[in-house]
Amino acid sequence: MSDEILEDTIMDEVTALPPSLMNNLAVSGDFYKMAFQFQQIMMIYESAIKQIETKLDILNKESSVNRTRNPISTVKSRIKSPESIAHKLEKKGLPINFESMMKNLNDIAGVRVICPYISDIYSVRDMLLKQPDLTLIKQNDYIENPKESGYRSLHLVMEIPVYLSKTEHHVRVEIQLRTIAMDFWASLEHQLHYKNSAHVPDSIRRELYRCAETIAMTDREMEEIAIELQALD
């Protein structure tokens, strides 16, 4: 289903507002109608997240049943706030409306998967790619090609169908896969930048990068130890 059809069908879901809200539209303009439409759209994104989380939970439980090591440690999810959505559209120089939001933003719905080891990240990625109802839209491998800051993670934009009572919607979800160590660095680095939104000195940037390199080396060494121990079993 194309983005245009997705937009049309979502708006078709908003068939009839409650009479009390319809009466208020004459006084308050389109505020209530827009709020109701936004709620409908967010419900569809939340449903897409739930489906991704269910898939990840099943895959992790399968590993437990097969008595192999669980490739997933933690799963977190979030929906972008209206403020974040508007800010990102404005930053990109795009119209701030529902159609622009759904067409241009891939990370309104986000799932973060925390794995014990680097190899687990690619194992989970491969398992997701085998799911027949998931379509890979985009992949950014910041593990093989870290950002200048030192940030490492595997980003996937995947499309999943959401079936409602009368309509079907194909929704994009951004899935970030990291090791525990990568998540530790990224979380603290984000907090430091958030609390110091002004210019971050180059000396601090270099220190953060050095920490990222140290953590990456630790990631590799811990996996080598795990492989050695597994060989002893």
Domain borders along the chain are: 3-179
3-state percent helix, strand, coil for the chain, nearest multiple of 5: 55, 20, 25
Q: Is 64 left (phi over 0), alpha (psi -120 to 50) or beta?
A: alpha
Per CATH, the number for 3-179 is 3.30.460.10
For the cut 90, the answer to whether the pLDDT of residue 196 exceeds it is no
Query: Which amino acid is located at 72 in the chain?
Result: I
Residue 94 has pLDDT above 70, yes or no: yes
* 4, 62, 144, 174: the active-site residue: 174
Q: What number of CA atoms fall less than 13 Å from residue 122's CA on the CB side? A: 6
| pLDDT score of 104 more than 90 | yes
CA dist 228 and 124 (Å) reads: 22
Token digits for 11? 């708006």
Alpha-carbon distance values, 156 to 48, 121, 167 (Å)? 14, 11, 26
Which of 160, 163, 179, 155 shows the shortest CA–CA distance to 171? 160
The amino acid that residue 152 corresponds to is: R
Across the range 13-41, mean pLDDT stands at 60
pLDDT band at 159 (very low <50, low <70, confident <90, very high): very high
Residue 20's pLDDT band, with cuts at 50, 70 and 90, is very low
What is the token pair recorded at 169? 């919607």
Provide, rounded to the nearest whole percent, the portion of the chain with pLDDT above 70.
85
pLDDT at 10 over 70: no
* Residue 38 confidence (pLDDT): 86
Residue 201 clears pLDDT 60, i.e. is over it: yes
Beta-bridged to residue 194, according to DSSP, are none
* pLDDT tier, 210 (very low <50, low <70, confident <90, very high otherwise): very high
**Residue 26 has which token pair?**
């004459």
- Res 15 pLDDT > 90: no
The arithmetic mean of pLDDT across residues 17-28, rounded, is 47
Supply the pTM of this predicted model. 0.83
Q: Which sign does the torsion angle of CA 76, 77, 81, 86 carry?
A: positive
Q: Are 121 and 140 in contact (CB under 8 A)?
A: no
SS3 97: coil
pLDDT class for 64, splitting at 50, 70, 90?
A: confident
Is the predicted pLDDT of residue 152 greater than 70, yes or no?
A: yes
Q: How far apart are CA 153 and CA 201, in angstroms?
A: 24
Query: Active site includes 144?
Result: no
The reported pLDDT for the residue numbered 190 is 85
